[in-house]
Chains A and B, each alone.
Chain A
Amino acid sequence: MGYAMNSDELNRAFAALADPTRRAILSRLASGEATVTELAEPFEMTQPSISKHLKVLELAGLISRGRAAQTRPCRLETSRLKDIAQWVNAYRALWEQSFDRLETFLQSTQPLPKQGKKNALK
């Protein structure tokens, strides 16, 4: 899990995600590639300032840019976001397992008729 990333890259990704404009750009890119011009429009920002945000996202590995001529369309790189999401999945699974075990444990401590004669732990 997350083995491909070192701490610097992690910090860079989190720093990049801390800005609302950059998150909005990522959300826009989630529905498909876009050029700088297309990205600048809805945000009412100049192209140079959008370009700065794109540079940060690119360095953080969250987007990549095509080589096609001047437009260089931007594309979302989802693998990094998935890395971040993985711990949530893992931690959630840990709790689901623990709750299963808790249920079994509690039953074993109760002198339920159907459970047989196990005495409660004290």
Chain B
Amino acid sequence: MLSNDHKAAFVITRQFELPRAVVWKAWSVADQLKHWWGPQGCSIDIYRFEFRAGGFFHYAMNFENAPTMWGRFNYRDITVLERLVWLNSFSNERCGIVRAPFSEICPLEIQNSVTFAEHAGQTIVTLRAEPFGEVEVERKYFEDLRPSLEQGYGGTFDQLAQYLHRA
């Protein structure tokens, strides 16, 4: 089990009315992943797809009315049908890591952990995201701020709390 809930910037859970093997395939096969990963309206070109720990998924995100951006997954842990952990970041055309083109405040790398659980033919997918910066303080900021938000200081922290607290 993952025990990183307290660190996660957010957690998303989705239930799919399909067996786990079908859902897993959409994450582990390049030709499927490219059809759904990314923001609405983008089309993905795959440059590299190495589905193993240490491997890269390197891709271009093409938009109709905006310049192309590149991104990469660096897989860290793959347990077939059960669990997937990778670092997600923006990149250049050569798979080199870069800061978010639109924001310097975005962590350089975000660690995503996804678990897949099957119940009665349905699959529950849970995704946790947390900053994985080179800068230790980026990480510390999220770890330490959460408990104080949870105690409810209210007022001006409310908006921040909404973002960080929803799970």
Chain A interface mostly? helix
Main SS class of interface, B = mixed
A68-102 to B contact mask, C-beta < 8 Å, 1/0: 00000000101001111111111110111111111
Does B159 count as interface, using CB distance less than 8 angstroms? Answer: yes
CB distance from A92 to the nearest CB of B (A): 5
Q: Across the A-B interface, how many residue pairs have beta carbons closer than 8 Å?
A: 133
Q: Is the CB of B104 within 8 A of A6?
A: yes
Q: How far is the CA of A6 from the CA of B104 in the complex (A)?
A: 7
B140 within 8 A of A: yes
Enumerate B123-148 residues with CB–CB distance to A below 8 Å: 125, 127, 129, 135-138, 140-141, 144-145, 148
| B140 CB contact (under 8 Å) in A18, A85, A86 | A18
In the complex, how many residues of chain A place their beta carbon closer than 8 angstroms to a beta carbon of chain B? Answer: 49
> Inside 8 A of B84's CB, which chain A residues have their CB?
none
A residues sitting closer than 8 Å to B (CB atoms) are: 1-3, 5-7, 10-11, 14-15, 17-18, 20, 23-24, 27, 30-32, 76, 78, 81-92, 94-106, 109-110, 121
